[in-house]
Structure 1
Amino acid sequence: MQTTAVPHAKLRLSQANVRTIARDAGLEALAASIAEHGLLQPLVVTPAKGRKALYDVHAGGRRWRAIGLLIERGLWPSDRLVDVCLLTIGEASPREISLAENILREAMAPADEARAYRDVMGEGANAAAVARRFGVTVRHVEGRLRLADLAPPIFAALAEGTITLDIAMAYGATADHARQLAVWQRLADTWQGDNPQAIRRALATDVLASDHPVALFLGEAEYEACGGRVERDLFSEAGRGSWLDVDLAYDLALRKLTHEADVAALGSRLAWVRPCLATYLSHRETAGLEIYWPDHADPTPEALARISVIDARMQELADCLDACPDGSEGALYEQEYDSLVAERERLQRSAPIIPDSDRPHVGTFLLLDSAGRPQLLDMYYRTPAEDPAGLDDDSDGSSAMAVEESAGAAAGGTSPIASGYSRALEEQLAKDRRDVLAFRLAGEPDLALDLAMFVLACCVAKPGHLAATGCTIRLCDAGDPKGLGKLPPSHAAQALASHAAGLPRSWSESEDAFQSFQAFRALDWAERLSWLALAVGCGLTASLASGAHERPFHTQLGAMIGIAVADVWRPTAEGFFDRLRKAQILDVLREIDPELPARHSASNKAELAGFAARLCAGETIVEAEVRQRALAWVPSVLAFAAAPCAPSDGAPLEQDGEAPAQAA
């Protein structure tokens, strides 16, 4: 093999080259490198058969293409000679040379590349110059430099191949060596040590992401103007970063939101509007408060006219969704449909009517949406009459608690998950779930007695617990949501009514209250307990497992009893499926059997709702496994799936003063 030089025009790619697929990836970078540094490695060629003036390139095809690219752009003289190694016949087969060139070549290790960039930068070059010389982006150079600046143990692990590039990049999300090493020592020997996302979450525990609602609400400019520090992540999209001074950010944001809440209170003429630096309302915020359900004025003629237009458009969209349930066009229809549903509900509810006698005690909360915009909560709360400011002994610093919970959610906590149903359907489901719990509680008189005594004791010892229990122990107003439609009673409501009809009522026939009381006392102990259990159950407020009607106490109570909602509640067409969009019904069918949506996607919404209702009632002919899943399906917001509460140190006592035996 001898070294010589020939013009680029006399070179052509060999037919024996093993790389037959031409890839443009990296070609620009290679051309930039050749333009800056020249051809560092000659091409391997042989004389072309039958064409004495041409040479076949067996190794270095990409270098040959890169030079051709430079010639097209006028960056390489067309008559400039290209260094080549001329392979003589008999030394090795052309295909063997090509195979060795492409298989034995090894890409540069990221650690070596990082060191090299750092050394070049040390000689006086900047990132832009290095990027131009080697045909890479400035961001790529800066990213490799961040790798070179990793804490020594982590960089050593990358160089040795102990960790991958993705893991090293995760540690490079911060330039703080102390935080890198703290997470490295904590996660290195665990399964999370190989999970880049887990590493990033661990590094972000004490920082605030720039896309967090609090950060979006405050704004980076205002935060930095007050001395806040932002750490940029070179491996993420431009404009992202981590806010290091979390306490400062929350303090500034809370002051700003408090001002917004004061303005909102003046505009709404409410007694109070409390700021809450969170995207949802926590139960701590509502401790000691009662939900206030105001009456609403009748819609104005203009609102009624708009509702009529909305109804017509919603029907058009429903027809369009039936025709194309999937795809981007269907998504646009669904988005418009949802916005119209929200607008219709606002118009229908109209302005709240709050009597002057109630107004000094009624208020609401100012929250943040996911984009950091202040949103006045569409729900009202009432404070005790003796506490017009709405602040009891336990609630000073409630905003701070909201900040703490919001920060916890940012660090990996969970927030209440929206059901995706309309507000009217959510309210109906909340009442249905209450009826399920009430019916089961009516069959647990011992538990109902305990609950009744607990609630009555709370009235004296701990009033703040009353709102959390969601149990009024009075039948004058169970706190049902307003505006429920006139729908047939649910299975749970029918079961509760049937249970009530089976209790003895002769004691209530007297017109004299005291005689009725005497008759009631004459009932058997079990009969009196049954009436007590019924009353306790009917005093429960409407609740769901998540969303605006979330009541964890109910969820834990139902889980402790072991309630299976499907035993006493089934989704009907009129009460449930008719009130969903077609795509939502198909999602339910997909949960039951992944093949069902394809079979019924051509059905219109009314047909689909009827089929879904019959399927969940066990009235269709399907496979046994599918029928079993359908009979057990209920919306997740109705489920009672919380873990049972841990038993307390002291066991309750029976009437004779002895502790009851544990249930088997």
Structure 2
Amino acid sequence: MTTSVKLAKLTLSPINVRKRPDDLLEIPQMAADIEARGVLQNLLVTPLKKPRGTFEVFDGGRRLRGLRMLVERGVIDPETYDVPVKVLVGDEATLSETSTAANFHQLKMTPAEECRAFQYFIGLKGDIDGVAKRFGLTRRFVEGRLRLATLAEPIFEALSEGSITLDVAKAYASTENQEKQLLVWSSYGSSYSNADTIRRVIANETMNSTDPVAILVGEDRYAEAGGKVDRDLFSDSGDKWVNPEIAQRLAADIMEAEAKRVGEELGLGWIRPIASNFTHSAAAGLYRVILPAPELTEEQETRLEEISARQQAISEEMADDSIGEDACKALDQEYDALTDEDYAIRNVAPTLPDELRPQVGAFLKLTPKGAMVLDTEYYSEEPVRVGGTEDEAKEGEDSVTIGRPTGGGREGAAPVPRPEAVAPGGKPLSARLYDELAMQRRDVLAATLLSHPALALDYALFVMIDDRMSSSAAYGSTIRARSPQDPVSGELPSTRARAYLAEAHDGLDAVWTEHSSEVERFEAFRALDDDGKAAWLAYIVAMSLEAPSYRADQCPLQNRLATIMGVDVASWWRPTSENFFDRVSKGSILTLLAEVGGAALTARHATMKKTEISQSCAKLFAGEAIVEPEVRDTALAWVPNAMRFRDQVDVDDLDLEEGAGEQPDDAETVDAVEASETGLEPHADEQGALAA
């Protein structure tokens, strides 16, 4: 029987199947909906014997709680409010089963359906706040569902069909740019990718609103210049600025203007703005000007003596056990104040002489909070003498600051590095990095050789036989029972080739190795089928390959193997922060970016910190960054010269630049040490620091 009952006559039945705490039942949302539209669905109740005329609600507990919340707020009167109910009579088991069925067969709307529904409501009334209030939801929740409507059609259809999760859909919806959504969808939509991956790829070519550059520019100025903002309604990490190049250009203009103003005000030779809080990379090749501390005046020296005497007296007074607690505390505070005064007198900032101002400069930094701050250090492009005379300079007086340019070579011509030992931009790789890359290149060759057992057999037989006939041949193999002596010891960065070799070993038929004697193992090995033996042969030959060291040339025989097998190094090895980008200089990386994507790609990274550039390049060269197709293809195909098999590439085709004959970085480090002994500190770049 369907009827209506006064709210005051209803109580919650203990057989109601919903047992979760009220704070998990979203009661405020239910109350808001009832306030806006009333009770839309009958409550299932059963009559109580006492008190007469009352009922227990065994299905509809959330609605009952929502009604009671409205009573607490004074919205409705329980004595007069009619609640639609359906009255059922039965034993507890029957009523509990009915409650279970009513809840079990409820089917919630999908996020896509919620999106379409909210979109319809907003389209009719255009009031997001009103809709949110009537449904008991936050404005952010409604806006989040509406944002799903901006999904490109294939992505929205996938959400509707349940092919992707709501979290993944939210990741795509973190940008309103459907072209960018589809670009990512084409790469990641057909395979399983989690929401974090999608969000990271989409955000890779945007700027976070919390970035120092964004804070400096301000959203209003950015928007006036034509910049677009993606409101990220699904995280608290800040909105995304779709046009970071606009923000960077505006920030450059702001900092250039401020640098000009500060330079004119202070009379310095130059002020260089950098969109970073760190000057190390920007100061590479410059000389840090070390100013002598100013001499103390007679008054200051007298005051320091007075401070010392008073502190001694205070110490003696505090050593007296009869002194009171308040007096001791006052003396302690006085002692601390005197200490601060002493420090202030002794640590007066040195003054830059007026005659030196046109010869030196400073950096205008950008703090993490987006504030422009002038660095307190002064730098010069040439050695600068601060006070003193030439004779004092020769005697090494402290008042003289002089040095040599960073990167100056020793007397005599520096050895020209081999083409494959040169990084983009012409700077030599460090010996350690070159050796590691040689070992990783060897692993690529070995991994490819596993699928060519016939070639491995030819190679092994040739090496073993030819070794008997020639004592000076270089085979690049230890098939003669020697273990390879790698040029670098310790753990290397993980690569696909190394992982594949480990998997191949685990997949070998190794039952024959379990026998105790050599004869038993030999007979068991003979019992293997041809494929099993071929797999072992290929693995043993592959694991015998040697990696040439920094001082040795590549092995021609290994290069020929690579040509025969058509080894695609790029498919086996990709540059990462760990195995490459953290190991070369910022200048080399920027040169590489210019080769791959032109000046625009370089400018996008020029103001980044070294670690940020490294991480960004790792994504770009792994194919995870959103870039033009031709840039993506070029990046995915690139490998450093040290990873190439030179039998496949002529020397003329290698990435060489002017300056490839520069001496290795360890020589630069020596020069930096020698220069620092004079009192001036030239800043070596990251490559020199690595070589050190």
Normalising to structure 2: TM-score of the pair? 0.51
What code does the residue aligned with 2:177 have? D
Give the Cα separation in 1 of the matches to 2:161 and 2:271. Answer: 58
Any conservation in 2 of the 1:201–1:411 contact (CA below 8 Å)? Answer: no
1:364 aligned to which of 355, 362, 365? 362
- RMSD (Å) for aligned C-alpha atoms: 4.4
Residue 160 of structure 1 is matched in structure 2 by 161
What code does the residue aligned with 2:278 have? Y
1:552 maps to 2:690: no
Give 1:476 deviation, angstroms.
7.3
Give 1:125 deviation, angstroms.
4.8
Correspondence list, 1:207-356, <5 A: 207-237=206-236, 240-281=238-279, 283=281, 285-298=282-295, 349-354=347-352
Any conservation in 1 of the 2:275–2:608 contact (CA below 8 Å)? Answer: no
Residue 57 of structure 2 is matched in structure 1 by 57
- Specify the SS of the correspondent of 1:82: strand
What code does the residue aligned with 2:18 have? R
Give 1:97 deviation, angstroms.
3.0
Going from structure 1 to structure 2, the CA distance change for 1:52 and 1:186 (only over 3 Å counts) comes to same
What code does the residue aligned with 1:361 have? Q
Give the Cα separation in 1 of the matches to 2:670 and 2:22. Answer: 70
Any conservation in 1 of the 2:43–2:59 contact (CA below 8 Å)? Answer: yes
Give the Cα separation in 1 of the matches to 2:340 and 2:258. Answer: 24
Give 1:216 deviation, angstroms.
1.0
Give the Cα separation in 2 of the matches to 1:124 and 1:89. Answer: 46
Give 1:261 deviation, angstroms.
1.6
Going from structure 1 to structure 2, the CA distance change for 1:232 and 1:412 (only over 3 Å counts) comes to farther
1:405 maps to 2:406: no
Any conservation in 2 of the 1:299–1:349 contact (CA below 8 Å)? Answer: no
Give 1:68 deviation, angstroms.
2.1
1:205 maps to 2:204: yes
Any conservation in 1 of the 2:172–2:198 contact (CA below 8 Å)? Answer: yes
Give 1:412 deviation, angstroms.
6.9
Q: Give unpaired runs (5+ residues) of structure 2.
A: 312-338, 385-404, 406-424, 426-586, 592-598, 617-657
Deviations 1:462-521 (A, max 9, x none): 79x99992332885753678xxxxxxxxxxxxxxxxxxxxxxxxxxxxxxxxxxxxxxxx
Going from structure 1 to structure 2, the CA distance change for 1:278 and 1:342 (only over 3 Å counts) comes to farther
Give 1:11 deviation, angstroms.
0.8
Any conservation in 1 of the 2:666–2:688 contact (CA below 8 Å)? Answer: no
Give the Cα separation in 2 of the matches to 1:218 and 1:59. Answer: 57
Any conservation in 2 of the 1:31–1:67 contact (CA below 8 Å)? Answer: yes
Correspondence list, 1:148-187, <5 A: 148-187=149-188
Any conservation in 1 of the 2:668–2:684 contact (CA below 8 Å)? Answer: no
Any conservation in 1 of the 2:259–2:271 contact (CA below 8 Å)? Answer: yes
Give the Cα separation in 2 of the matches to 1:177 and 1:270. Answer: 49
Deviations 1:630-656 (A, max 9, x none): xxxxxxxxxxxxxxxxxxxxxxxxxxx
Name which structure has the greater RCO, CA cutoff 8 Å, separation 6+: 2
Any conservation in 2 of the 1:205–1:411 contact (CA below 8 Å)? Answer: no
What code does the residue aligned with 2:607 have? S
Any conservation in 2 of the 1:366–1:374 contact (CA below 8 Å)? Answer: yes
Going from structure 1 to structure 2, the CA distance change for 1:476 and 1:257 (only over 3 Å counts) comes to closer
Give 1:62 deviation, angstroms.
1.2
Any conservation in 1 of the 2:70–2:76 contact (CA below 8 Å)? Answer: yes
What code does the residue aligned with 2:229 have? V
Give 1:172 deviation, angstroms.
1.0
Give the Cα separation in 2 of the matches to 1:77 and 1:177. Answer: 51
Residue 596 of structure 1 is matched in structure 2 by none
Residue 580 of structure 1 is matched in structure 2 by none
Give 1:359 deviation, angstroms.
4.1
What code does the residue aligned with 1:7 have? K
Any conservation in 2 of the 1:366–1:375 contact (CA below 8 Å)? Answer: yes
Give the Cα separation in 1 of the matches to 2:201 and 2:160. Answer: 23
Give the Cα separation in 1 of the matches to 2:19 and 2:40. Answer: 24
Residue 4 of structure 2 is matched in structure 1 by 5
Give the Cα separation in 2 of the matches to 1:342 and 1:183. Answer: 59
Give 1:104 deviation, angstroms.
4.4
Going from structure 1 to structure 2, the CA distance change for 1:20 and 1:554 (only over 3 Å counts) comes to same
Any conservation in 2 of the 1:287–1:467 contact (CA below 8 Å)? Answer: no
Give 1:131 deviation, angstroms.
1.6
- Specify the SS of the correspondent of 1:56: strand
Identical columns (%): 34
Going from structure 1 to structure 2, the CA distance change for 1:16 and 1:344 (only over 3 Å counts) comes to farther
Deviations 1:166-190 (A, max 9, x none): 2111111111110111112223355
Residue 397 of structure 2 is matched in structure 1 by none
What code does the residue aligned with 1:13 have? L
Deviations 1:338-380 (A, max 9, x none): xxx9999998553335456654332221110100111222332
Give the Cα separation in 2 of the matches to 1:342 and 1:177. Answer: 60
Any conservation in 2 of the 1:44–1:84 contact (CA below 8 Å)? Answer: yes
Give the Cα separation in 2 of the matches to 1:343 and 1:17. Answer: 75
- Specify the SS of the correspondent of 1:5: strand
What code does the residue aligned with 2:69 have? L
The size of the alignment, in residue pairs, is 407
What code does the residue aligned with 1:557 have? A
Give the Cα separation in 2 of the matches to 1:169 and 1:347. Answer: 59
Residue 16 of structure 1 is matched in structure 2 by 15
Residue 31 of structure 2 is matched in structure 1 by 31
Give the Cα separation in 1 of the matches to 2:217 and 2:106. Answer: 52
Any conservation in 1 of the 2:360–2:378 contact (CA below 8 Å)? Answer: yes
What code does the residue aligned with 1:187 have? Y
Any conservation in 1 of the 2:284–2:684 contact (CA below 8 Å)? Answer: no
Residue 431 of structure 1 is matched in structure 2 by none
Give the Cα separation in 1 of the matches to 2:606 and 2:50. Answer: 80
Correspondence list, 1:79-98, <5 A: 79-90=80-91, 92-98=93-99
Any conservation in 2 of the 1:39–1:83 contact (CA below 8 Å)? Answer: yes
Deviations 1:422-443 (A, max 9, x none): xxxxxxxxxxxxxxxxxxxxxx
Give the Cα separation in 2 of the matches to 1:375 and 1:131. Answer: 44
Going from structure 1 to structure 2, the CA distance change for 1:118 and 1:354 (only over 3 Å counts) comes to closer
Give the Cα separation in 1 of the matches to 2:371 and 2:187. Answer: 37
Residue 552 of structure 2 is matched in structure 1 by none
Give 1:159 deviation, angstroms.
1.8
Give the Cα separation in 2 of the matches to 1:169 and 1:208. Answer: 18
What code does the residue aligned with 2:251 have? A
1:68 maps to 2:267: no
1:478 maps to 2:677: yes
> Mean Cα displacement is larger for which, 70-79 or 43-52?
70-79
What code does the residue aligned with 2:170 have? M
Going from structure 1 to structure 2, the CA distance change for 1:39 and 1:302 (only over 3 Å counts) comes to farther
Any conservation in 1 of the 2:285–2:684 contact (CA below 8 Å)? Answer: no
- Specify the SS of the correspondent of 2:45: strand
Give the Cα separation in 2 of the matches to 1:11 and 1:247. Answer: 64
Residue 145 of structure 2 is matched in structure 1 by 144
Residue 115 of structure 2 is matched in structure 1 by 114
Going from structure 1 to structure 2, the CA distance change for 1:225 and 1:376 (only over 3 Å counts) comes to same
Give 1:244 deviation, angstroms.
2.9
Residue 326 of structure 2 is matched in structure 1 by none
Give the Cα separation in 2 of the matches to 1:342 and 1:161. Answer: 67
What code does the residue aligned with 2:254 have? K
Correspondence list, 1:321-470, <5 A: 349-354=347-352, 358-384=356-382, 404-406=605-607, 413=614, 469-470=668-669
Q: Which has the larger radius of gyration?
A: 2
